Structure 1
Amino acid sequence: MSFDHPGLLYEGVEDYLTATTKFVRGAVAAGDAVLVAVPGPNLTALRDSLSDVAASVDFADMTVAGRNPGRIIPGVLLAFAATHAGRRVSIIGEPIWPGRSAVEYPACAQHEALINAVFTGRDAAILCPYDAGRLDAAAVRDAWQTHPVMIVDGGRQDSPAYVDPIITAAQFNQPLPAVPAGAARQPYSEATDLGRVRRFVAESAARAGLPEARADDLITAANELAENTIVHTPGGGVMAMWTEPGTLVCQIDDHGHLADPLAGRIPAPAHIEGGRGLLLAHHLCDLVRIHTTASGTTIRLHMTL
């Protein structure tokens, strides 16, 4: 089995379609299970260009399926591979596009690095396009770090910047901006505090105007993470909530250290109890940012209003 994870630098629609349709047609001809998960406009262009083989390809809008970058490995890539167990999978995944915000970007780049750790030894190919003409130069430079091979002007070349993916992912374990002075706060330290935590989140979500179904998602995610604090860390934690333009933010701070960079990215086996709190938060929230050190961990949940 072999894993291939090339980054594709493209400029313009024609350049994009030339490389991506070649990848898909080759994979279909080889009998691979094929998934195309790219942002909406590119998805439309690719679907139209692949109409003759579309019946052999799964399509997903990455702005929906991968709205939270932390959801892509478990909810898109591994889920697709599991559905086609025993077959080689070939995937186009485009998690970074013009319009991704500065707060989203570190989670996107970390995701790209961690793909290498998760899929090493698997029979898979994941092609990651980068719009080199419109993305920031820093995003293009990072692509050379997170992909062992790059495709430039139609040619493949080994990336001289690629190193151990865990080391690269650690570069994006970045401190988060300070909690606003006016944010509401709720400390907790025991299991009996979880009811107060849920009410705190529910009341904050109602004040912010978060729809009820999405509020339920946030309550579930926050409760799971608070329970993780109580079970796995000393001294309890503090939850804070506030709004930013178009977003409700919930932050959990505790004194634990999240040592495994793949935590929340790989589903726990069905026979193992627990270990799903962070995975669930990734699934339910629009963005999850994490900063962890030896002295404590911050997890920030974002919900679009």
Structure 2
Amino acid sequence: MSATAETGTGTFGHPALFYRGAAEYLAGTVPFVRDGLAAGEPVAVAVPGANLELIERELGADAARVRLLDMTVAGRNPGRIIPGVLRAFADSHPGKPARIIGEPIWAARSAVEYPACAQHEALINLAFSGRDATILCPYDADALAPDVLADAEATHPVLIDGTGQRSSPAFDPTGLIERYNQPLPVPSGAFELDGTTDLAAARALAHVRAAACGLAEDRLGDVEMVVTELLSNSVEHGSGSGTVRFWGGDGEFVCEVHDRGRLTDPLAGRHPASPYQPRGRGLLLVNHLADLVRLHTGEGGTTFRAYFRA
């Protein structure tokens, strides 16, 4: 079972690997890595820690030539993966066809996280359109639910499993992005600042509320920064003001900002930013600092929701 066959060169390839057990996992990933190394291509592997150990052990000395990342850390927030993992690696090797294994969905992902994971997989196709790269995405066919595997068929044009390789007749990343673009219900008891432009007040309240929810002191600054950036984005690019909400407990804090504008760029917050870029990095920073970011946009406005965990 080869993950390299028919993925193409000089264009973007995005196959899904449906594996059952460690033997199929290694058969689908390690040849993909070694073929890239043999061709002189830069190779990165970003998968959950246990699978990372499997690949590293199987590669032996070749592992030193591969960028290895634990996706449970680097991709804790799915919104961070495109700019902080995939594009960060590909862009650091200009003029070369990057080869990456990215496994952003695993069985322990929560129901709250999953929609952002599925949308991330769909957005990869937009972020790398026309780029010279191949990103192989493994899916544990034994541990993941059937609807997760069905979504993978919608986000990947090529499917690989123990029987071989085939094109996906269900490939429709744009449709999947919209299908998971659902309103985000607000729990009862959420504290709300309605239609505000007061960044200082929102920041101060975020600090107090996050501390009351049990967040560590070193995370409170992250919360303040995220609330500031989200509200600033609503003031500058949304409807001129934003409704800020806070809630949480048991070591988790959630903040969201809603405005009446509509987001038109599906990759907002996922575009890499140059260190010399004076503006346009606010949503990128939000994705970097939060443990999870959920988004809904439509005729009724746009909501960004950021989660922080102890």
TM-score, with length taken from structure 1: 0.95
Q: Which residue of 1 aligns with 2:4?
A: none
Among 184, 187, 191, which residue is 1:184 paired with?
191
- Structure 1 residue 273: deviation in Å? 3.6
Alignment of 1:133-172 (within 5 A): 133-163=142-172, 165-172=173-180
Distance 1:10 1:244 in 2: 37
Query: Is 1:126 equivalent to 2:129 in the alignment?
Result: no
Q: Which residue of 1 aligns with 2:104?
A: 95
Distance 1:94 1:119 in 2: 17
Contact 1:89 1:124 in 2 (8 A): yes
SS in 2 for 1:50: helix
Contact 2:214 2:252 in 1 (8 A): no
Query: Is 1:51 equivalent to 2:56 in the alignment?
Result: no
Between 1:154-163 and 1:195-204, the stretch displaced more is 154-163
Distance 1:282 1:122 in 2: 23
Contact 2:215 2:251 in 1 (8 A): no
Distance 1:294 1:272, change over 3 A: farther
SS in 1 for 2:60: coil
- Structure 1 residue 234: deviation in Å? 2.5
- Structure 1 residue 120: deviation in Å? 1.5
Distance 1:3 1:270 in 2: 26
Q: Which residue of 1 aligns with 2:230?
A: 225
Contact 1:234 1:255 in 2 (8 A): yes
Q: Which residue of 2 aligns with 1:248?
A: 253
Residues 252-297 of structure 1, C-alpha deviation per residue, up to 9 Å, x if partnerless? 1111111111111112455654222211110100000001112211
Distance 1:244 1:72 in 2: 27
Q: Which residue of 1 aligns with 2:6?
A: none
Contact 2:14 2:157 in 1 (8 A): yes
Q: Percent identity?
A: 51
Q: Which residue of 2 aligns with 1:173?
A: 181
Contact 1:166 1:261 in 2 (8 A): no
SS in 2 for 1:185: strand
- Matched to 1:180, the amino acid is P
Query: Is 1:114 equivalent to 2:123 in the alignment?
Result: yes
Query: Is 1:266 equivalent to 2:266 in the alignment?
Result: no
Among 29, 37, 47, which residue is 2:38 paired with?
29
Query: Is 1:276 equivalent to 2:284 in the alignment?
Result: no
Contact 1:240 1:251 in 2 (8 A): yes
Residues 9-61 of structure 1, C-alpha deviation per residue, up to 9 Å, x if partnerless? 00111110111111111111111100000001101111111112112101000
Distance 1:108 1:181 in 2: 26
Distance 1:235 1:117 in 2: 29
SS in 1 for 2:106: coil
Contact 1:19 1:154 in 2 (8 A): no
Contact 1:7 1:127 in 2 (8 A): yes
SS in 2 for 1:112: helix
Query: Is 1:197 equivalent to 2:202 in the alignment?
Result: yes
Distance 1:250 1:257 in 2: 19
Distance 1:181 1:162 in 2: 38
- Structure 1 residue 123: deviation in Å? 1.0
Q: Which residue of 2 aligns with 1:285?
A: 290
- Matched to 1:227, the amino acid is S
- Structure 1 residue 186: deviation in Å? 2.1
- Structure 1 residue 233: deviation in Å? 2.4
Query: Is 1:38 equivalent to 2:47 in the alignment?
Result: yes
TM-score, with length taken from structure 2: 0.93
- Structure 1 residue 85: deviation in Å? 1.3
- Matched to 1:113, the amino acid is A
Distance 1:72 1:159 in 2: 24
Distance 2:211 2:97 in 1: 46
- Matched to 1:105, the amino acid is Y
Query: Is 1:15 equivalent to 2:20 in the alignment?
Result: no
